[in-house]
Amino acid sequence: MEFSILTNYFGLYMEGFYGTVLSSVLALIGSFLIGAVIAVFRITTVRALRWFGTAYVEFIRNIPLLLVVYIFYYGPSALGFTLDGFKAGTIGLAVYTSAFIAEAIRAGIMAVPKGQMEASRSSGLSYIQTMLHIILPQAIKLVIPPLGNQFINLIKNSSVLTLVAGLDLMYFADSISTETYRTFDTYIFVALFYLVLTLPLSYGVRVWERRLQRKY
């Protein structure tokens, strides 16, 4: 094991690490916002919105992430403007993950007993008020573990940025290994950088899940 690779190229590793973290965080925020809207679409009584929500989730969940990223990478240039790899990759990640987050949020909302909605509607609260003050605060607790899992997936999935030159960990690792000629060692360190992010999150999700189980 050549530890000098880590010390000599620490700057490049950190640059890639920063790209991976930034892309994952931005994509998480984006996918949460889109996912929340789609989840609401899927449970409203408006049929057209419900149909749109279902079609969105079903379509995205059945195509590969890389395809979604390619759509944002190659698509714009066909229309006459360009997105760089980082932007296209991050938008693609956000769109792809939003379908999974929408399902997680919907499941969380559905898990809140129906009586809660009926009781607060009968007490004179509007649908929006009921959602904001009664349903969502209870749902959010249930949604946190699947959301955490999606964030872990996001971090791992952000590695596809390298396929569109997206300046993430895998991308910089490629330049490190072409300089050092030591692919094995270079990528062992890459794995460690990913684990630094994902292992604590996995642990946190498991602790939270156990807490939920104890409560019910």
Partner 1 sequence: MDFIGAYSADNLKFLLDGLYITLIVAFVSIILSFVIGCIIGVIRYSEVPVLSPVMFYLVELIRNLPLLLIIFFIRFALPEVGIKLGLITAAIAALTIFEAAMIAEIVRGGLTSIDKGQIEAARSSGLSNFQTLWHIVLPQGLRRMVPPLVSQFISLLKDTSLAVVISLPELMHNANIVIGHSYGYAIPTLALVALIYFTVNFLLSMLSRRLENKTA
Residues that bind partner 1 (CB under 8 A): 58-59, 61-67, 70-71, 74-75, 77-78, 152, 155-160, 162-163, 170, 182-184, 186-188, 190-191, 194-195, 198-199, 202
Among residues 46 and 55, whose Cβ is nearest to partner 1?
A: 55
**Min dist. Cβ of residue 133 to partner 1 (A):** 33
Among residues 127 and 203, whose Cβ is nearest to partner 1?
A: 203
**Min dist. Cβ of residue 121 to partner 1 (A):** 32
**Min dist. Cβ of residue 48 to partner 1 (A):** 21
**Min dist. Cβ of residue 33 to partner 1 (A):** 23
**DSSP letter string, the chain:** --THHHHHTHHHHHHHHHHHHHHHHHHHHHHHHHHHHHHHHHHSS-HHHHHHHHHHHHHHHTS-HHHHHHHHHHHHHHHT----HHHHHHHHHHHHHHHHHHHHHHHHHHHS-HHHHHHHHHTT--HHHIIIIIIHHHHHHHHHHHHHHHHHHHHHHGGGGGGGT--SHHHHHHHHHHHHS-HHHHHHHHHHHHHHHHHHHHHHHHHHHHHHHHH-
